[in-house]
Structure 1
């Protein structure tokens, strides 16, 4: 904790929502940590949001209930919020949104502490991400691969199983090399108690908790703490990655709750609202979180991010997913239509995208046929969806036999490739083999995205469609 100047200000000019306004201040800086003392003697942490000539606006993390404009006190601590912890202090443990232990263990200690706001990474120092991370989920590994150092968000909707998918990724994510040190930092913002217990139970039962540091801001915790939670989690991730050379996967859920808290503070502060009432600086604020992922030249560790957000009204053009898509390198989109069909995980691969996928797959990473097979599955599935729309107009019985093959492929891809059990961990090789099995229900003339050599080596030749038999073309 930074040391303060010792100056204490008695009385508040105004209390508005989660903010307090202090006049007559001197030598106070932006993002400086403050202590607000209630008339009952309770000390609450806060952070300076803005400063003018003699006025400071402080956001109080624990809320402003019980504060008195006449009898409350404010102490400015002379520095930003700092946090730090070594791997043995945080891995396998659970903390609240402010980094305080929830597991009855001691507070984490560290030789050095970092500013939770982070430091800009010199773009020249960034190493290009190109190492594949296996999540065990075919729709991700096969068609929207995650690469070490990437930021790949999941766009979900209310009621969709993004928490279940998050837990599955946290349990199963691994590097193909296997021997490198890998850990996960999970930051949850505004989640329900049942969801928090679900994460804890899933990780404990699978034995994964020992490699996970959890930071939980629950729905009934002060919403202002949600602005701090992802920054504390990323500060820990940076320390583990760049001081202790671990490869860290950071999962942030739910970024929509974070943005709602940001809008609440901006409204209380009197900022001019932009789209949907969010502040105009929403883009830069999200970028200050997302851009802390990456690899640095000369450092052995890395940070990969999977932010998860629920799209209000399933609207992908809403400001939160819209701006997130601009900053990050793609998106995984959960689809309500697939969910209503009983498919888990309901990942719609057509609007989903991983912009760095081509650099992390193929020869030397996964398998040489990965890129072409993924492209082929996309092309066939896109055509199948067009045929489905045609069938809804003219009826399936009036389709040509070749078009009905596309309907069969769409059903098979959704039922066998996209769908898998919540505890099913497929290797990328199993995913690719399954993809070939589905693609080769088509005659060779339809498989225009793969090479004849790949088709001969990996393809599966189908027997008569009536009996469903299949035999490998080449072993």
Structure 2
């Protein structure tokens, strides 16, 4: 890829805004559309981009490697005065490149004969020559019934989980122009594929000997999504040079030209500590965007319903940013767009060891541990035993919650503040000239706030209004309060101004083994705790008195020996309820943004009550009847960096017949961390937790990723180290040979030995360090099942920068697609299903570069492969592709389930150029067209009769109808089905066709000329 000319270009430091994958550069002059831009970070790193839009002194630059890690300060944008160009020559054949045309096969860049603009130009229609000349793929269903022609655009429409990549590789290996094999070459462009898929394509071509006449351009799933817009254009630039300058016949295969979403009840983790279901959040965002008159698009697609996409600004969202994943650490990222799409016919339900449950579309990508390291993998490829990356420690901006504001969140008019002295009155008189004027301006009751100790009281909402008006700190104002009352009684003095660890510990004890009651009908307002341990009861009383002064405990023991202590106080009960948000979707979420010591105190309080510690400290269990509360406790433990597992059971004791959810912490690393932070008041539980942390067994959450063995071996061999130099030789050997995995704590010791010898800037050392010390755990998938959606829609977000979000209990997932990402960043009015309105012309600019040119020997043939979300052929990408291209090959899920490869649905497939120009002497056989037509007619009738037989029974059909059904089975199993490495010539395919047609009565072959029947029909016997 041609980057910067030495000393060339105009440099700007006036980056105004970073918006998703785009930079907005201000005060630019003489900048051109599509101009190449070199973006330099403060650290000296260089990234490549191009100009998308220019106007009013501003340029919008698309950064191919993404804007992750960039900030406005210190970034330079160098406009190079040239468009993006690819160095082309025949030397590129046999090589492997990334999506931008840079070598990734370990060899130096190939020499370039010329540099060509990757945007290219569609072929002038006047100069086009009608495509002809048959291309043999070796696949019967294509060669006989949907013939591929030199210069044609023939896409393959597939679905999630089908064998389109295997088919693409087979076509790349086998495709030839009969008689012109030496002039044929394959350009392969893969968009958003996993590492194992990339390795498969490369190995397939190498093992078949086809690599020497092929060039691979691979954009991987972990590469920036915006790069996928460039990759096809890079591949086509090389194709145009080889075809029209070097007379090659080129087949360009592009996979995958095409959305993934979550079910509406999937929980998202926002940067402010909020956790919400994505469906409710997206619906609210759509409504606010509509009220703000921002762009919203809706369209009814044939047979599929409506899709909506809204572009949003932070002020239109209750929560404008999500927690995202950047490498091996957390990052706060802005939400750019929200989307809802009609739910597909099937979703996948993934359950993990930690208790997480995810309902996603089959093509939703999750971060999975693979032999190549962490990779974004489609859900349809995930199997039980795979491990998902999940955040180890959740990090939020912490807050201090004033008790007065907490109390005022509900019915503040019931609570009165009684002041110590007249400092508030004096301050109001100083600001407004008189107390009466202050009362008038602030809507206060003059009679209640005049200078009399008996009267000097404010309603809580009034007092907070006065404090805000005076610009006072709430803590400072709390010091002026002598006491508070509720409904004019129940005197309580707050000992602290803010939520403290004592209060959260108290809350934990109450929620586990107590009650918070606010009953206006009965006039009962109290906080209680019950336990057999007198020590815990005394701890509860002491904690309450540290926070609330005034109420006295009522203590009694029931007949079972359980001591019950109760404090009657509406103020205390309301503060605890408002903090916990019991019974709401926000239950316990406010605790997430408190300091760690507050959260640890809450967990300790909960363990005091409904917590148990197994003998020997092997596990800590926190029990609750609520699945939601269990998930919230799990998130709170993650704030402490402690992973846990949620287990469901049926209670055999006091919960009698109800489900109980245990939040279980096990393993020495987790227990040691828990014991260091959480100190339960219960002496036995406190001791048992400390014992559990001293155990030395491995912990599954902290097993080293599978790739560490390769990294260890490479580093060791690079620096001449023996296995025993870094650790026990047998253990190191087993890890390197993938026969054993060890904990990251063990790997950290090996890493220290490597660091003594390795260069500090060694990339493998850096990768190993991230894998060992990164903020993640591995969460094993325990089940994957296919389910029907329970809701009408599924939902998605576009996240700026990293394009990843955290779902469920911290699992890392990907989000958007390239065209929609660019469109969202530019805040364009969206088209169908959120794609930009110009997508038709964007696709055409790729597809129309295929064809033949008059006077040129070479040709470009395209086979783009598209995955249709939920097998929806009306999805915008395949739908628009069908208008531009000259037919389509459609893969069938029903045939795939029967085990038929390739699963080509010939009845929905079509090659519009399969006519006299192809089926002609010296090109294919004379009987080719008639055989194809007869196969279509007979197989179509067989499929209809199968459906009829399911209704009326096979016995109700005629003998001829039964013959046709048998023909349909033969057609699928003898003609369609072939091996992955089976390369059939056209003659072989036609012979198989005649073999199965000969099972039908001769007089039923109405589409074939008599002379061909006489020559090829084989009568039974």
**How would you bin the TM-score normalised by the shorter chain?**
over 0.9
CA distance in 2, matches of 1:128, 1:362: 15
Name the SS of the counterpart of 2:202 in structure 1. helix
Does 2:920 align with 1:362? yes
Q: Which residue pairs with 2:865 in the alignment? A: 308
For 1:271-286, list aligned pairs within 5 A: 271-286=828-843
For 1:384-399, list aligned pairs within 5 A: 384-399=942-957
Residues 357-380 of structure 1 deviation map (CA, whole Å, 9 limit, x = unaligned): 112123231100000110010000
Does 2:41 align with 1:43? no
Name the SS of the counterpart of 1:223 in structure 2. coil
List runs of 5+ in structure 1 lacking aligned partners. Answer: 464-475
Name the SS of the counterpart of 1:348 in structure 2. coil
CA distance in 2, matches of 1:179, 1:316: 35
CA distance in 2, matches of 1:76, 1:129: 41
Aligned residues: 461
1:178–1:7 Cα change, 3 Å: closer
CA distance in 1, matches of 2:41, 2:1017: 71
CA distance in 1, matches of 2:862, 2:123: 16
Q: Which residue pairs with 2:190 in the alignment? A: 188
Name the SS of the counterpart of 1:84 in structure 2. strand
Does 2:892 align with 1:335? yes
Q: Which residue pairs with 1:413 in the alignment? A: 971
Does 2:436 align with 1:434? no
Does 2:616 align with 1:59? no
Name the SS of the counterpart of 1:214 in structure 2. strand
C-alpha deviation, 1:180, in angstroms: 4.7
List runs of 5+ in structure 2 lacking aligned partners. Answer: 260-815
Residues 105-138 of structure 1 deviation map (CA, whole Å, 9 limit, x = unaligned): 1112222211100023221111111100000000
Are the counterparts in 1 of residues 88 and 116 from structure 2 also a CA contact under 8 Å? no
Q: Which residue pairs with 1:6 in the alignment? A: 9
Give TM-score, length-normalised by structure 2.
0.45
For 1:42-441, list aligned pairs within 5 A: 42-87=45-90, 89-256=91-258, 260-358=817-915, 359-441=917-999
CA distance in 2, matches of 1:11, 1:41: 17
The equivalent position to 2:19 in structure 1, one of 16, 20, 28, is 16
CA distance in 2, matches of 1:296, 1:458: 38
CA distance in 1, matches of 2:9, 2:166: 48
Runs of 4+ in 1 over 3 A off after TM superposition: 1-6
Are the counterparts in 2 of residues 18 and 63 from structure 1 also a CA contact under 8 Å? yes
CA distance in 2, matches of 1:267, 1:6: 29
C-alpha deviation, 1:179, in angstroms: 5.0
Give TM-score, length-normalised by structure 1.
0.95
Are the counterparts in 2 of residues 405 and 442 from structure 1 also a CA contact under 8 Å? yes
Name the SS of the counterpart of 2:989 in structure 1. helix
Larger relative contact order, structure 1 or 2 (CA cutoff 8 Å, min sep 6): 2
CA distance in 2, matches of 1:330, 1:149: 13
CA distance in 1, matches of 2:879, 2:991: 34
C-alpha deviation, 1:253, in angstroms: 0.4
Are the counterparts in 2 of residues 440 and 461 from structure 1 also a CA contact under 8 Å? yes
C-alpha deviation, 1:66, in angstroms: 2.1
CA distance in 2, matches of 1:355, 1:212: 27
CA distance in 1, matches of 2:133, 2:74: 57
**Aligned residues: CA RMSD:** 1.3
Residues 294-325 of structure 1 deviation map (CA, whole Å, 9 limit, x = unaligned): 01111111100000010000001111110001
